Amino acid sequence: MGNEAIALGAIAAGVNLVCGYPGTPSTEVLETVAKRRPDGVYVEWSVNEKSAMELAAGASYAGARTLVTMKQMGLNVASDPLMCVEYIGVKGGMVVLVADDPGPISSQTEQDTRKFASFSKVPCFDPTGAAEAYEMIQEAFEWSERYGTPVFLRSTTRVSHGYASIEVKDPAEYTVHQPDGFVKDTNRWVIFPRLSYKNHQRIFTRNVELADAFSQYDRNVLLPGGPSGTVPVAGENKSAHRGIATGGISYTYVMEALKSVGASGTAMAGANTGSPSVLKVATPYPFPEKLALDFLKDLDEVLCVEELDPVIEEALLLICGKYGLQTKIYGKMTGHIAVAGENSRDSVQKAIDDFLAVEAPADSAIKDVEAVQAAAPAGSAASALPTPPPLPVRPPVLCAGCPHRASFYAVKQAMKGQKTIYCGDIGCYTLGNSMPLDMVDTCLCMGAGLGIAQGVYHTEPDTKCFAFVGDSTFFASAITGVINAVYNQAEMTLIVLDNSTTAMTGHQPHPGTGQTMMGEVVSKVSIEAILRGIGLTIVETVNPMEHRKAVETVKHVAAEPGVKAVIFKYPCIAITKPSGSMKVDADKCVGCHRCVQEIGCPALIYENGSVKRSKVLVDTSQCTGCSLCAQLCPTGAIIPADKEAKA
């Protein structure tokens, strides 16, 4: 996996300290380091990305090589120290691995770290796949130390989660990096305004120098086109000098697409018919201007193929303006490349075919059953192949037995008929917005539900305001929100969904679990003790699977003034395996469907697949035996599957 390659590359580079906060698609980098680390390499899941960035900076000040990992949303949390670290500089190499999420597949936004690199003035490396990522992170540490700056290694989902066979170094070949310790120097490490002004000038000059150096960096590549650098244009009696500029995973798609174009006999890199020049941009910031100028000078038209923001496109437009070039630049801003979402091999193929004005080649490897049927002789076995039905739509849903379902339902029942707002958060429990629960009215970013609930209260004091947050997110970004609510005398109910893990990103430990990423058993940090220390006098902990008690707890807590909290504590079903399941007594089931229609558990299904005149069945392959449905059944028809056997 690309993330494993990045981790192994960091180890080979002699990394001394790795820290971060879990977030798809970045998580496996730190997990791999934790599994494969040599003696002396320190690894931790930090409380949040800001804490991780500061930890890595401190170790770098002491001469350590450090790697800090996060997804693109986490970079926002880490940006405060990062912006300042760039002004101060580093001693040991410091690489900030940020995994962007085009699509987005598991994120709120499609934020582009290449833009953040320009904004923060931090150099950025953009690998095209697992093999290059393995090599590039080793080089990134060297560039960081050479220029005294943190650097980004910007991955994307298809680089992070794509697989490739690569050659890795033998442990005997690993770089051994020995930190030389922190040396006191207030003129270097203390960020007074005068030092910031001086260093801002230094950074500007350094990045101009880096742009020149990156033009010589062998991962920035200019592939010249075919004879005369020309590409025949279909339907016209002339040839145009054309090129393609790209980077990251899109470069991989471009090269695959050009092979297919060549297979059609129209154009191919290096073919006699002529082919487009290709500029591969491995360092989108500082942009390799001199190399790009060499690329542009003989071209009439350039297609920029990239994901997310038009970073390469804007850079080439700037160069054309600066040097008075007449080259036409196409890409996202001209509608030639999609402005949002992922690129794919197919979308890039189409864009290049359109740009080169060639007929799209037939690809026998991507024919579906209907195409096979159409091409097959009548009466043949191929023509008789059944047409596959469309894939069913599978909306995301909370797992069967998930304690969050019981928690949401308890709050819903307790507050029935009252004016409420339920402010959600980022995590598995965002799925509480799904029907029939419908218990997430807002969701912005980690920990934001607390602030939103307070904002609504101060605007509509007659609204019962709830904020939901998971246990991991509580430690990461919710504590300050609770303090703000207490200090500013808001009235709200905090619901902490404590399933004793960081479930959404793969069950990583956090301060409340009593275990570190290095396997050490430590004292658990008590959420209840923190809340009481902040000033809450009403903090109740209850098992959400005890439905009646849970409802009564929410009722009396929500009725109290000020800021108060309910901690719903029950382990994640994915790490605490069930010991049995439930079943339906068909003689007692009256087909009221309350169990199905009120909690939406995927283990509850209609007997005949239809709502009409149907009893309910339990899918024992999914059921965890949590018994929430049994507590709701008005006829007592849902019972433990082994009840009769015990009798």
Domain boundaries, the chain: 2-214, 221-360, 403-569, 582-646
* Mean local confidence (pLDDT), 74-96: 94
Which CATH number, 3.30.70.20, 3.40.5.50, 1.10.460.10, 1.20.1530.20, labels domain 582-646? Answer: 3.30.70.20
- Confidence (pLDDT) at 527: 94
Specify the range with the lowest mean pLDDT, choosing from 176-190, 204-218, 261-275, 483-497: 261-275
- Confidence (pLDDT) at 603: 92
Summarize pLDDT for 452-484 with one digit per residue, the tens: 999 999 889 999 999 999 999 999 889 999 999
Per the structure block, which two tokens stand in for 641?
């599957």
Could you tell me which residue, 271 or 12, shows the higher pLDDT?
Answer: 12
Can you name the CATH fold of 2-214? Rossmann fold (3.40.50)
CA distances from 275 to 83, 122, 249, 292, 299 (A): 43, 35, 21, 18, 12
* Mean local confidence (pLDDT), 36-61: 93
Residue 234, pLDDT above cutoff 50: no
Q: What is the pTM of this model?
A: 0.83
* Mean local confidence (pLDDT), 571-578: 84
Rounded Cα distance between 221 and 316, Å, is 15
Dmax over CA atoms of the chain, in Å, equals 89
Residue 331, pLDDT above cutoff 60: yes
- Confidence (pLDDT) at 365: 40
Q: In 122-192, which ranges are continuous DSSP H helix?
A: 130-147, 157-160, 186-189
Chain position carrying tokens 């050659």: 167
Residue 50, pLDDT above cutoff 60: yes
Residue 554, pLDDT above cutoff 70: yes
Region label for 539, one of left (φ > 0), alpha (ψ between -120 and 50) or beta (otherwise): beta
Rounded Cα distance between 187 and 445, Å, is 37
* Mean local confidence (pLDDT), 520-533: 92
- Confidence (pLDDT) at 503: 82
Helix or strand (DSSP H, E) at 180: none
Centre a 10 Å sphere on the Cβ of residue 609 and count the other Cβ atoms it contains: 7
* Mean local confidence (pLDDT), 266-281: 64
Task: Please state, rounded to an integer, the average pLDDT across all residues of the chain.
Answer: 88
pLDDT tier for residue 230 given thresholds of 50, 70 and 90? low
- Confidence (pLDDT) at 236: 43
Residue 248, pLDDT above cutoff 70: yes
pLDDT tier for residue 445 given thresholds of 50, 70 and 90? confident
* Mean local confidence (pLDDT), 521-531: 92
- Confidence (pLDDT) at 513: 86
Which residue, among 159, 3, 6, has the nearest Cα to 95 in the 3D structure? 6
Summarize pLDDT for 123-139 with one digit per residue, the tens: 999 999 999 999 999 99
Region label for 324, one of left (φ > 0), alpha (ψ between -120 and 50) or beta (otherwise): left
Specify the range with the lowest mean pLDDT, choosing from 284-298, 340-354, 375-389, 527-541: 375-389
- Confidence (pLDDT) at 609: 65
Give me the percent of the chain exceeding a pLDDT of 70: 90
Residue 266, pLDDT above cutoff 80: no
Rounded Cα distance between 221 and 278, Å, is 8
What does the CA dihedral 483, 487, 488, 491 come to, rounded to 10 degrees? 70
CA distances from 287 to 14, 280, 291, 314 (A): 28, 11, 9, 11
Asked if the domains at 221-360 and 582-646 fall in one CATH topology, the answer is no
Summarize pLDDT for 155-186 with one digit per residue, the tens: 999 999 999 999 999 999 999 999 999 898 98
Q: For domain 221-360, which architecture applies?
A: 3-Layer(aba) Sandwich (3.40)
- Confidence (pLDDT) at 381: 57
Residue 645, pLDDT above cutoff 70: no
Per the structure block, which two tokens stand in for 107?
């994120």
- Confidence (pLDDT) at 373: 54
Summarize pLDDT for 397-415 with one digit per residue, the tens: 899 999 999 999 999 999 9
Please state which CATH class domain 403-569 belongs to.
Answer: alpha beta
- Confidence (pLDDT) at 385: 61
